[in-house]
Structure 1
């Protein structure tokens, strides 16, 4: 287990229920936890409910090694890498019905957002530690020597990852986005973070920027911050309360960015603003379009482009992920996805322009309980040629499969969710759900790693698309 860096290169009438009890010992041995087919109008506590076209085929509960919240996922070959606030887990998914834990790395720091590039793993540290070493104690945000930023691991040997570098960034790294150079020699990592304070020595206001880390692929130990572009020179959305009572976050940085390198664009979800970036020069991203929706969006959280790059889906993390927002009383446009059409393009020389036109909202139609935190969270496209389907996590709202071919009439066509746990407090559910090589993989904050299989004629053809590597925040054309 590495300790310090070393130099190196959202229910229809029909559904399926599956029991969860008594699975921990089996899952640790790599055994699947099957979903059994039975019918019940009110499934018992802690059981699984799915639409009739979704099957839950496996679960690996969290282990004693990493007991904190699970977070994001990335994929390489036959492996899924699951982030956790205390480190990361590498799963062998060569047999998706029976995933196996290969190794777990304990390296605390909060958030644990992950991206993978060849043999390199980029890992976000968002809570300060005494130094950059794994195992170093937590320190206060007022400690000027506290480390936050990106840790870089070499995962060529999946059973024995090697910690090779650490790069400090202002305000740490809440999320990170891989932006590979077109010649393959360099990785750029866009680091998003927010919420500065005058009492944080390493996170001073105004924090209207992102950090750009340059990583020579053949020499990752030389990784360094090469730019800190200011995206909001006017300070961004000042926040406050809209005329309809919607509370809007002030923009003090970005939450997440998704890059579409082939099209020279990226979409940034930045608290009170949604933006489109020109990334023809990846070391020097510039804002070419900015939008707001103060009547409905509270916190611009993440973004995904359609396969052709002519649409973009932004998510709103109403309530910060810890609130019950999938309630009838909240409505269908608060805490929803917002769809926009892109007009224009950016060429390889960085010339051109982009304009966005609003096209509709989507929110899961399955109202949740008042004790279930539920809001739009991380997801990815399902690769169907010429069509737009999206799989997405909604915390305790579960996993939703969405048809947004007509963004004005986006609909849910499938789902997977768990009923509330006994005495469940707000703060659980699936963080991220992504389609990868024929299956949906979900990282549940409390219940572990889930594998789903979808059988729906609308998605025919998706299984024919395979990836050698997949970072949902780094899109490519299928």
Structure 2
């Protein structure tokens, strides 16, 4: 297939800019990838995807009156060519379960496979449960609820989460509760640290927020941004749980020290240029170069303000010195930033969303540009090595409509890698499993 790298004039000031090749929206497109399996669970509104022990876990989205409460779908993928649903769980009425983490945990209180699910109310305030739900999924076909930990009734609940078992044996869940700081009149920050070493009795040990807890000099610099623009969208541990990064929207990615998890310590942040749109949504560290961080700046609708004038893209950072991150470059698709013709696409949503790494190969969900695969062995010269774009599909809930009125498009939310295969969740068409030549010989 013909591929091309387009130099985007609007991004030319970056240290290095990679623009990934465009794929046709007319049918599924593959480059250095091949389809293995597909499962559409029906109903649309698919959320994130996680894979553990031969089982894929699909989250579910919802908002307002469009709240189907699909819950988490546990999908047997031991035969990846024929995935099948074996159970559904975390189906709390009037809620979504879009983010899920699953892993093996061993503590004096629990030994087995633990699932942590972020539960959000479709509307808030509400008396319905919103917060962190923990399940025993040692037998994926028979998940068992272990405990729930609620957030404030005026927040929607837990938006994104991640879990780590540290060298000291403690199992910590890092969860984001967007807009918590405002909802609780500054009593609770958007970032929560929860000890789930005993998942039957989860215990919040800390809350944090850049608007309240960062050094005064940092807080003063952020006063030009509104409070709603400084929410904590996601939080995840790194350095074996000794540190965490917070995607704090227009405040950038905030790096925290966690020598004492009960007292998160500000280390630094990746700041945006003065007129940039911002929206630090998520990110991931390069496994082969642990000081290289790739930040996903999500823009869910095309905008004309700011200096980029584009959909969301990636910024690459060297965080060897957390107090002074160094910009290395950017990654974008030809649909998400103006190319030589000065245009971007409006027949879908062409922002970056989430990413994972296998070694120095990055796998990125890019909404209507599908899954993009990038070699970051040289972070100053990222190199595209593959893509997989699901076929266009209509949203069964009739919610997602492209800016130009189009109703049929790919919309890849999340990605995961296991056993050398890539698992991608498309909001409209479900789970896609494919092989990437760039991952040949890896266990994922």
Give the match for residue 355 of structure 1: 324
Give the match for residue 429 of structure 2: 447
Matches within 5 A, 1:288-367: 288-294=267-273, 295-307=275-287, 308-319=289-300, 323=301, 335-344=312-321, 354-366=323-335
* Other structure's SS at 2:261 match: coil
Using the TM superposition, give the Cα deviation of residue 447 of structure 1 relative to its aligned residue in structure 2, in angstroms: 0.4
Give the match for residue 205 of structure 2: 226
Q: 1:115 aligns with which of 90, 97, 101?
A: 101
Q: TM-score, normalised by structure 1?
A: 0.71
- Is residue 238 of structure 2 the alignment partner of residue 260 of structure 1? yes
Give the match for residue 147 of structure 2: 165
Q: Which stretch has the larger CA shift, 402-411 or 391-400?
A: 402-411
- Is residue 249 of structure 2 the alignment partner of residue 271 of structure 1? yes
Using the TM superposition, give the Cα deviation of residue 256 of structure 1 relative to its aligned residue in structure 2, in angstroms: 1.0
Give the Cα separation in 1 of the matches to 2:366 and 2:388. Answer: 10
Give the match for residue 382 of structure 2: 410
Give the match for residue 370 of structure 1: 346
Give the Cα separation in 2 of the matches to 1:206 and 1:296. Answer: 30
Matches within 5 A, 1:13-412: 13=3, 45=26, 47-51=27-31, 53-63=32-42, 67-85=43-61, 86=69, 87-105=71-89, 106-108=91-93, 109-118=95-104, 119-127=113-121, 141-143=124-126, 145-170=127-152, 171=155, 172-184=157-169, 186-196=170-180, 200=183, 203-205=184-186, 208-216=189-197, 219-233=198-212, 234=216, 235=219, 237-238=222-223, 240=225, 250-262=228-240, 264-273=242-251, 274-294=253-273, 295-307=275-287, 308-319=289-300, 323=301, 335-344=312-321, 354-366=323-335, 369-383=345-359, 388-412=360-384
Give the Cα separation in 2 of the matches to 1:249 and 1:414. Answer: 39
Give the Cα separation in 1 of the matches to 2:290 and 2:181. Answer: 36
Using the TM superposition, give the Cα deviation of residue 73 of structure 1 relative to its aligned residue in structure 2, in angstroms: 1.9
Decide whether the 8 Å contact of 1:298 with 1:335 is kept in 2.
no
Gap change, CA 1:71 and 1:173, over 3 Å in 2:
same
Gap change, CA 1:453 and 1:428, over 3 Å in 2:
closer
Using the TM superposition, give the Cα deviation of residue 96 of structure 1 relative to its aligned residue in structure 2, in angstroms: 1.9
Decide whether the 8 Å contact of 2:23 with 2:29 is kept in 1.
no
Decide whether the 8 Å contact of 1:333 with 1:361 is kept in 2.
no
Give the Cα separation in 2 of the matches to 1:333 and 1:362. Answer: 12
Deviation per residue, 1:29-68 (Å, 9 max, x gap): xxxxxxxxxxxx99684x21111x11122110123xxx25
Gap change, CA 1:232 and 1:100, over 3 Å in 2:
same
In structure 1, the gaps of 5 or more residues are: 1-10, 15-40, 129-139, 241-247, 345-352, 467-478
Decide whether the 8 Å contact of 1:195 with 1:253 is kept in 2.
yes
Decide whether the 8 Å contact of 1:376 with 1:393 is kept in 2.
yes
Using the TM superposition, give the Cα deviation of residue 261 of structure 1 relative to its aligned residue in structure 2, in angstroms: 3.6
Using the TM superposition, give the Cα deviation of residue 250 of structure 1 relative to its aligned residue in structure 2, in angstroms: 4.9
Runs of 4+ in 1 over 6 A off after TM superposition: 41-44
Give the Cα separation in 2 of the matches to 1:153 and 1:210. Answer: 22
Using the TM superposition, give the Cα deviation of residue 337 of structure 1 relative to its aligned residue in structure 2, in angstroms: 0.4
Using the TM superposition, give the Cα deviation of residue 410 of structure 1 relative to its aligned residue in structure 2, in angstroms: 2.0
Give the Cα separation in 1 of the matches to 2:181 and 2:210. Answer: 18
Using the TM superposition, give the Cα deviation of residue 285 of structure 1 relative to its aligned residue in structure 2, in angstroms: 2.3
Gap change, CA 1:330 and 1:290, over 3 Å in 2:
closer
Aligned residues: 379
Give the Cα separation in 1 of the matches to 2:146 and 2:162. Answer: 19
Decide whether the 8 Å contact of 2:101 with 2:163 is kept in 1.
yes
Using the TM superposition, give the Cα deviation of residue 394 of structure 1 relative to its aligned residue in structure 2, in angstroms: 0.7
Q: TM-score, normalised by structure 2?
A: 0.76
In structure 2, the gaps of 5 or more residues are: 5-21, 62-68, 105-112, 337-343, 403-408
Give the Cα separation in 1 of the matches to 2:200 and 2:164. Answer: 18
* Other structure's SS at 2:356 match: strand
